[in-house]
Amino acid sequence: MDSIDSLKIYAGNNDVPIMFDETSDFICRYIKEHNVKSVLEIGTAIGFSAITFANCSPDIVVTTVEIDLDRFIQARQNVHDFNLENRIHLNHCDGLSFETQEKFDLIFIDAAKAQYTKFFERFKNNLNEGGVILSDNLYFHGMVKNQSLTHNYSTIKLVRKIKKYIGFLKSNPEFITTFYDCGDGISVSKKNPCYKKLVFEKISPGESEKIIELSKLATAIVREHFDPIIGKAQNDYMLKKFQSVEAVTQQLEYGYNYYFVKDENKVLGFLAFYRKQDEMYLSKFYLEKSCRSSGYSKNMLRFVIEETRKLNLHSIVLNVNKNNFAVQVYEKLGFEIIRSEKNSIGQGFYMDDYVMEFRL
């Protein structure tokens, strides 16, 4: 086979998944616009995408990995037929066992969908400066957006894993990911130039000075943020009920996990969470106003995710006021609204909230 059309026909006749035309056009356009010269592809199949990428420019080199022997053999023949042996380097192995010290301008993940997160983590350090990771098939034939399209148990499990991967991309503080409604759904992840590794300093019961500092910090942040949303009277009442020294001390004794969020030695905000039956309840998730919109929230969520996994829990739940713009922030982080609730907190005040969930 020595034409793209013949590769498409072979793929169709032999049930070999290849890129949608729209996806192919999108990636080729990206390669040309960003002067991509080196590509790592996880999932060769019959070589269709590797050949397509190599044909974008005569100086592009593609390294590609395929676990299936029959497809690898067919890909090798196709690369030969296109006279691209010098620029497409084929490897027959599992992508998770493939080792390379090379750096690439573009990494294309299009292999086993259930392993996307592992592929991403394994090869993220193989990016050149300014390089990107592209992930394909994030819609999975529309089933990610509409799970009712399938009733097959194995397919439903796979769709859930793709959703988890999308959540991983959204909450990953090291990368900025953009999702495109293109082909079968594609994402472009680029290293976050503002990323800083935060320090999470635990506050333990009995650490009175830290508790006093936390209460002052919470009062300042919550007053600035919530007075315009719920009014000063209710906010004053809630601060006394939930963020006073006495309240925080009692919460710590009940098993709350409180942390200062720090950048080196500077306190940026604070977190609080605790196990609530079979889920992690995220009670406090606050940053100083000057620190918002800086990518810190992704870093904070990543920390909560890690602590949740340590307890073998599979979801993080929180309440957020319906009029709080943080609803959109949480949605961007991968949370979904699962219900509404209105709870009395005393003295005629109510919390009119959305309950949101992040599935691990």
Question: What's the half-sphere exposure (Cβ side, CA atoms, 13 Å) at 215?
Answer: 21
- Rounded CA separation 332/355 (Å): 15
User: Which residue from 20, 224, 218 is spatially nearest to 137, judged by alpha carbons?
Assistant: 20
DSSP 18-68: ---HHHHHHHHHHHHHTT--EEEEE--TTSHHHHHHHTT-TT-EEEEEE--
Q: Which residue has the tokens 């007075």?
A: 227
Q: Looking at the chain, list the stretches that DSSP marks H as alpha helix, in order from N- to C-terminal side.
A: 4-13, 21-33, 48-54, 69-81, 116-123, 153-171, 208-230, 232-242, 245-254, 296-310, 326-333
Give me the pLDDT at residue 270, please. 97
User: Which residue from 110, 53, 46, 50 is spatially nearest to 74, judged by alpha carbons?
Assistant: 46
User: Which residue from 239, 246, 190 is spatially nearest to 217, judged by alpha carbons?
Assistant: 239
330: amino acid identity, one letter: Y
- Rounded CA separation 16/167 (Å): 28
Give pLDDT tens digits along the chain (360 positions): 778 989 999 999 998 989 999 999 999 999 999 999 999 999 999 999 999 999 999 999 999 999 999 999 999 999 999 999 999 999 999 999 999 999 999 999 999 999 999 999 999 999 999 999 999 999 987 888 877 777 787 888 888 889 989 989 988 889 999 999 999 999 999 999 878 789 999 999 999 999 999 999 999 999 999 999 999 999 999 999 999 999 999 999 999 999 999 987 799 999 999 999 999 999 999 999 988 877 789 899 999 999 999 999 999 999 999 999 999 999 989 899 999 999 999 999 999 999 999 998
Give me the pLDDT at residue 144, please. 80
Cα torsion angle, 262, 263, 264, 266, sign: negative
Both structure tokens of 327: 């609803």
Q: Which residue has the tokens 């209460």?
A: 215
pTM above 0.85, yes or no: no
Give me the pLDDT at residue 157, please. 87
User: Which residue from 276, 290, 295, 298 is spatially nearest to 172, judged by alpha carbons?
Assistant: 298
Q: For the chain, give the number of residues.
A: 360
Q: Which residue has the tokens 């990323």?
A: 195
Q: Please enumerate in sequence order all residues whose Cβ is within 8 A of that of 334, keeping only pairs 6 or more positions apart, or say none.
A: 166, 167, 170, 171, 301, 358
In the three-class reduction of DSSP (H, G, I as helix; E, B as strand; rest coil), residue 141 is classed as coil
Give me the pLDDT at residue 171, please. 86
- Rounded CA separation 88/80 (Å): 10
Tens digit of pLDDT for each residue in 274-320? 999 999 999 999 999 988 877 789 899 999 999 999 999 999 999 99
Give me the pLDDT at residue 173, please. 86
Crossing angle of the two packed helices 296-310 and 153-171, in degrees rounded to 10:
130
Cα torsion angle, 58, 59, 61, 62, sign: negative
- Rounded CA separation 172/136 (Å): 18
- 72 to 38, 68, 112, 333: CA distances (angstroms): 20, 6, 15, 38
Contact 44, 50 (CB under 8 A): yes
Contact 180, 26 (CB under 8 A): yes
Provide the pairing of β-strand 315-321 with 349-359: antiparallel
Other beta carbons within 10 Å of 343: 10
The distance of Cα 109 from the centroid of its chain, to the nearest Å, equals 15
Contact 88, 62 (CB under 8 A): yes
